[in-house]
């Protein structure tokens, strides 16, 4: 084989040069602090969406990869490119894990890009019907399509749900969805999986309560107490009332089946209806189901209620909590804060 000067090199010289280059690249990778198959950020499973601009060269995305925290340095990316063929790189958005190896990063960036997803936010405390209405407003589903699946448990859950509905188990979060190919069932499956990931994976002991009781109580706390720091105290009061056979008197439960949560006329009618199973002024114990989507704070408060001498509570016009030990103190608070 001729060299640059046109002089043929012996086969053994060519082999030595190839070995030298391989060793040089291996040393360069080691100096750059990475190995092609080793995790770049071990133990960090955080995911990010990384975008490769149209027309970008493999070398050009080194800086953005460093800025995103994927690669330790531009030098590390440049050296890695010398060891592999990155011509397969595609433009678009890709989901990368911080713990990926260099090879996995390149494999992902050469694969199919993510769809042009948009964010959809399920708010804390939302009922199934509220999510359904928001999806209808977006024009992504027909009215009732999401609710039918969620209320009918029309898709499998990755854990046992001892309730007639998925109400309370559909994690409130911002989800990236494809508006051009939206699937209500897939969103519900993702919400259930997120519930498992965010709560069940970290909490398995519910004391003398069941998971479903914790979920229902968490949903009440989400609607009843606007200040998260007060929810353990309210949980303690409500569990005490349940254990003593005293009706909860949580008015939020009577709003659950109303189409519009703040419809006062419909709400007052529900309060006067002794046959309403969600009327906790009349019925003892927890309502039949959760009344919305609780957050982690509310679920943990339901699991870890704060002991206190209180048996009643109310909120003033500024939503400040005022607990009371007995009926006389509670009535005094009603008069003082004009709450009826």
> Where a domain ends, among 200, 231, 248?
200
The stretch 110-131 carries a mean pLDDT of 92
Give the CA count within 13 Å in the CB-facing half-sphere of 267.
11
Residue 169 maps to a domain? yes
pTM given for the model: 0.70
Indicate whether 129 and 194 sit together in one domain: yes
- C-beta separation of 29 from 23 below 8 A: no
Query: What is the domain-level CATH number for residue 49?
Result: 3.30.1490.480
Indicate whether 143 and 175 sit together in one domain: yes
pLDDT classification of 7: cutoffs 50, 70, 90: very low
- 287 vs 195, 199, 243, 257, CA distance in Å? 21, 22, 14, 12
Indicate whether 215 and 293 sit together in one domain: yes
pLDDT classification of 12: cutoffs 50, 70, 90: low
Of 131-135, 150-154, 176-180, 185-189, the range with the lowest mean pLDDT is 176-180
> Where a domain ends, among 200, 223, 257?
200
Residue 315 maps to a domain? no
How far apart (Å, rounded) are the C-alpha atoms in residues 97 and 50? 10
Q: What is the DSSP string of 140-173?
A: SS-TTHHHHHHHHT-S--SS---SSS-TT-S---
Indicate whether 176 and 256 sit together in one domain: no
Residue 14 maps to a domain? no
Give the CA count within 13 Å in the CB-facing half-sphere of 105.
33
Indicate whether 54 and 130 sit together in one domain: no
Residue 321 maps to a domain? no
Residue 23 maps to a domain? no
Indicate whether 215 and 304 sit together in one domain: yes
Indicate whether 178 and 93 sit together in one domain: no
How far apart (Å, rounded) are the C-alpha atoms in residues 220 and 217? 5
> Where a domain ends, among 149, 165, 200?
200
- C-beta separation of 209 from 285 below 8 A: no
**Which residues pair with residue 121 across a beta bridge?**
174
CB atoms within 10 A of CB 129: 21
Indicate whether 44 and 81 sit together in one domain: yes
Range of the domain at 249: 211-308
| Closest among 151, 165, 160 to 204, alpha carbons compared | 160
pLDDT classification of 24: cutoffs 50, 70, 90: very low
- C-beta separation of 198 from 296 below 8 A: yes
Give the pLDDT confidence score for residue 21 in this predicted structure. Answer: 46
Residue 124 maps to a domain? yes
Domain count, the chain: 3
| Closest among 111, 73, 69 to 93, alpha carbons compared | 111
Residue 230 maps to a domain? yes
Residue 333 maps to a domain? no
Tell me the pairing of strands 118-121 and 92-97.
unpaired
Segment 89-112, tens digit of pLDDT = 999 889 999 989 999 999 999 998
How far apart (Å, rounded) are the C-alpha atoms in residues 311 and 111? 59
Give the CA count within 13 Å in the CB-facing half-sphere of 221.
31
Indicate whether 131 and 58 sit together in one domain: no
């Amino acid at each position: 084989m001729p060299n640059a000067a046109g002089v043929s090199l012996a086969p053994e010289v060519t082999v030595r040069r190839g070995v030298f280059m391989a060793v040089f690249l291996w040393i360069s990778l080691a100096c750059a602090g990475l190995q092609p198959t080793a995790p770049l950020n071990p133990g960090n499973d955080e995911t990010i969406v990384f975008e490769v601009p149209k027309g970008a060269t493999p070398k050009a995305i080194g800086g953005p990869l460093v800025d995103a925290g994927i690669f330790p340095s531009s030098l590390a990316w440049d050296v890695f490119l010398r060891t592999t063929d990155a011509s397969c790189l595609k433009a678009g958005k890709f989901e990368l894990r911080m713990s990926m190896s260099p090879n996995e990063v390149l494999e992902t960036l050469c694969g199919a890009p993510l769809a042009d997803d948009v964010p959809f936010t399920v708010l804390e405390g939302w009922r199934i019907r509220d999510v359904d209405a928001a999806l209808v407003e977006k024009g992504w589903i027909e009215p009732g399509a999401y609710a039918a699946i969620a209320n009918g448990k029309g898709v499998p859950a990755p854990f046992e749900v001892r309730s007639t509905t998925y109400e309370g188990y559909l994690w409130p979060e911002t989800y990236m969805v494809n508006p051009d190919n939206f699937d209500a069932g897939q969103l519900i499956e993702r919400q259930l999986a997120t519930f498992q990931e965010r709560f069940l994976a970290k909490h398995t002991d519910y004391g003398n309560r069941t998971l479903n009781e914790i979920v229902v109580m968490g949903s009440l706390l989400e609607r009843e107490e606007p200040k998260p720091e007060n929810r353990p105290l309210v949980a303690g009061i409500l569990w005490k009332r349940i254990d003593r056979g005293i009706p909860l008197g949580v008015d939020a439960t009577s709003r659950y089946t109303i189409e519009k949560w703040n419809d006062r006329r419909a709400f007052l009618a529900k309060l006067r209806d002794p046959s309403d199973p969600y009327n906790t002024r009349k019925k003892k114990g927890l309502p039949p189901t959760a009344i919305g989507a609780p957050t982690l704070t509310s679920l943990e408060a339901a699991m870890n209620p704060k002991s206190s001498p209180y048996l009643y509570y109310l909120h003033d016009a500024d939503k400040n909590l005022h607990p009371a030990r007995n009926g006389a103190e509670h009535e005094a608070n009603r008069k003082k804060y004009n709450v009826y």
